[in-house]
Amino acid sequence: MIEQLFYKAAAPAEGIIESSTLNLALDGIDKSLQQHSLKQVLLLPRSSLIEFELQAGQLKENIVISDRFELHNLDSGSVLQIGPAKIRLTFHCEPCSKIKHLVNPKKILHKRGYHGQIIQAGRINIGDSISLLNERYEPIPYDFADRIKWYLGKTSGDIWASDLIYAIGLSSSYCRALPNILRNRADIDKSRILFKNKQGKTA
């Protein structure tokens, strides 16, 4: 069941806003700051808030749910029905340094929420039930390197490193880590990933 709802204001200065209802559209949450297509909504179980002594909204989640099932144990590609809407679970939210004033990022790993993609639009409300459907989508790896390999396997041609990082739903800060990650993965075709040197030329 939905316990609380939030959306990120289109004007960043307004922060996160609590609401009794959300309109979920195929391009994201209505009135909300638009997110990557694989990260349109962030679901968080109440148990994570309790375990880490956090207040709802502090992790910038959109949907706080009661723990009828273990959300973080569900496979990527699982589909949830919430009211009339359907959400495809994509990957766990990556704990980052932005939350270290609230909780140790290492301790909240795989408990920080589940990103989702809206695949059927609809208005959801506090108190709406949540059902796990038999419908399934292709799973998306959580691991950084595995997700790169997954994406390159679905596409052809060369791609700029910054575009690759965006395509797999990560922030631009991950570009700095990309060379080291690639160095240890012989199974990834590194020749397809283009980098720019400090002069702006292809490296």
What is the domain partition of the chain in residue ranges? 2-136, 144-194
- d(CA 6, CA 21) in angstroms, rounded, equals 9
- d(CA 118, CA 89) in angstroms, rounded, equals 9
Residue 25 has pLDDT above 50, yes or no: yes
The pLDDT score that the predictor gives to residue 20 is: 97
Query: Exposed/middle/buried for 42, CB within 10 Å: 0-12, 13-18, 19+?
Result: buried
The token pair that represents 50 in the structure block? 């309790």
More confident residue, 111 or 11: 111
Q: Could you read off the pLDDT of 115-144 as tens digits, one per residue?
A: 999 999 999 999 999 999 999 999 999 999
More confident residue, 51 or 197: 51
DSSP 202: B
- pLDDT band with cut points at 50, 70 and 90 for residue 14: confident
For the question of whether the overall pTM of this predicted structure is more than 0.85, the answer is yes
Residue 50 has pLDDT above 60, yes or no: yes
For residues 86-90, give the mean pLDDT: 98
Mean pLDDT, rounded, of the chain: 92
The token pair that represents 192 in the structure block? 């397809």
Check the CA dihedral 99-38-91-6 and report its sign.
positive
Q: Smallest Cα–Cα separation from 127: which of 172, 63, 191, 48?
A: 63
More confident residue, 138 or 98: 138
The pLDDT score that the predictor gives to residue 199 is: 45
- Helix (H) / strand (E) containing 97: none
- d(CA 42, CA 85) in angstroms, rounded, equals 14
CATH fold for the domain made of 2-136: M1 Pyruvate Kinase; Domain 3 (2.40.33)
More confident residue, 81 or 34: 81
Residue 60 has pLDDT above 90, yes or no: yes
Alpha carbon of residue 121 to chain centroid: 18
Residue 97 has pLDDT above 90, yes or no: no
The alpha helices in the chain, defined as continuous H runs, are 46-51, 144-154, 161-167, 178-183
The pLDDT score that the predictor gives to residue 98 is: 87
Q: Could you read off the pLDDT of 157-178 as tens digits, one per residue?
A: 999 999 999 999 998 888 988 9
For residues 66-90, give the mean pLDDT: 95
